[in-house]
Structure 1
Amino acid sequence: MKQKNMNKNPRILFISRAYPPILGGIENQNYGIATELSRLTAVKIIANRHGKKFLPLFLIKATFLSLFSLWKYDVVLFGDGVLTPLGVFLRIFHPKKKFVSIIHGLDLTFAYKKSLLGKIYKNIVIPSIDKMDKLIMVGNSTISEAAKLGINKYKCVFVPNGFDAEKVSGNFMRKELADFLNMDLTNKKVILRVGRFVRHKGLDWFIREVMPLLPANYILIGAGGRSAKTVGDSDTFGDCERNIKDKYLNGRVFLFPNIAQDKMNLLFNTVDLFISPNVKVPGSMEGFGINAIEGAACAKVVVSSDLEGLKDAVINGKNGFMVEPGNAEQFAKKITAILADENFCINFGKRAQTFTFENFSWPAVGKRYLEELKNI
């Protein structure tokens, strides 16, 4: 019976330019959806597992593999919008096949970059995105951004990103966090921000504007990817370091760039509160906010900016709380009020965890993807 149901579902050719073992948000998302869809139907994965430097060779390989194997499949699903020109090319030889792409915020905002590459992207990739049969957007704000670029909004559907419970959950002791930070955490409250060190993620702003307003026993950890040439955004790690020094926050703010996954798991499961203090930056946006989902999945209270794709990830009062972006006093008051009540943190964290598993786990998200791919 299981095989019979699978045969009724579309056969999918999934093509991804960013895939594990390389670490990153899109890599994890592409792996998650490909793995979950493979449990539900027939899926062939063509993926670049060797990073950006191998992308030119991967494009050649993916073109030939898909060109000569597409006849076996019903739908081509691209892991992000960058590969949609390949879909335009493949349609010439396979006009009856359906082409779908997942679209992230950066897939759209890169078109605003003031560079030659940005102009090429806007003139080639954006029209190619619009030629797909369906676009699966990671956030409702991404749909709005697509419409601004002239992409047909009626092709767009919102399906949230999912999270991998095994990657973030675990049994850790608070003492392990104390050992990792090499400090006594007695009577300390630890706040975590996870994400790339880029402007719109808001960590540099939070250090400068909010941390001075919080009690002296509040500790902040910033962890995430860093690159001197972060695609689409400038690196702000140096700004974070300067703000720590200028605001006399040494010993209260700790930065961990390119942290190992096991240490990331330790942080998710031992801190007191998770924040997503994103700020509005022209030419950049938060497509969804997967790190906030991961924080809630670990039974942590999440305090987030009421902005862009975070609105789809954090449901106010269900798996976190939203505050006005860029409002330091609101952030400080909300965080202080929450951390003053340990019982509230525990009870709300459990409810947020349950809500998150029910709505954002890969099994839940995978079913939504499959339904969209059935109905093109």
Structure 2
Amino acid sequence: MSVSSMRFADKVVLVTGSGTGIGQAIAKKFAEEGANVIIMGRRREPLEATARELEAIMRSRKSNGKVMMFPGVDVSSVQEVIDMFNAISREFNGIDILVNNAGVSGPVKILASQPFKEFRECVSIHLTGTFWMSINALKYMNDDGRIITISTYFTEERPYEQRPYRFRTPYTSAQGAKNRLSEALAWEMAEKGKRIYFIVSNPGPVHSDRIYKTVYPKAAAEFIRIGGFQGLSAIDIERIASDVLPYVGEDDVMLEKAIDRLASRMVEERSSREDSMHTQDASSIASTIRSCLDKIREVAEKIQNNTKNMIVDGNFLTQEETAEIVLSLADVEVSRLVNGRTMPSDRV
């Protein structure tokens, strides 16, 4: 493929949250199509690995594209975002496409148990970050610029179906607000005669490591915390979710160490307050923790299957398929047609 036949040859594309997952897949697709790709995220190591992959793609495609990387930038930080765009403006002559993809899972807890700090952090990344990135990108946008925001199908309004994401009030609230934000910005730019297009993409259920490793297990743990588990208090289950669950599916040795650490602490705490269960030793408590983890895995699989049953063809989208949807929306002719709209999933 020649450089001239690539869909986004010489365009400047900024993708937030692009060190891993969907953001990384989007960055790769743009690199394949000749774009200059700017990546950013909270962690340096994944970004550096992604940058190497993008450069390899560009070499293999004989593209003139460049890669620019901004590790550690918080999309909701006023000064960090300003400084980043200043640096981008020194390297490139404007920006053509911004993809607002950065996000966090947020707390997965029943509403009454959600700390204000966690709610604020989730909204800060999803909503405030999308707002601040978009506002600053507008200062450097070329004509026919596009701002595409990744949202979730759980914000869609359909009769007779439960749309809000169970136990994820901060996430669902912030995502829904992002949809309205894009609509409002589209109207304002149109009234000013600006050729800048805003689109929201709700791609539908996606196969994502973050979902499988964090969201489903956290939701399962919350179900169990509410329903109870023999030998464990609600606080114990919260600590399993926070201190042990992150190691599930990772290194088995690290998982066992996390279980043993928590079991030892629980023995000490129960003994100090003369708990009725304080006669249990660390080995017995560790065994109970493992049984609870087995139950969490079982419930998490049920949650996953319930989500799968909502999909017309029963298949989750891959991250690469999601990236292709974004590139289709980024086509300037398509962007003009769907400006200001939230593109819903037709698969659920």
After TM superposition, the score normalised by the length of structure 2 is: 0.43
Larger Rg: 2
After TM superposition, the score normalised by the length of structure 1 is: 0.40
Give the structure, 1 or 2, with the largest relative contact order (CA under 8 Å, sep 6 or more): 2
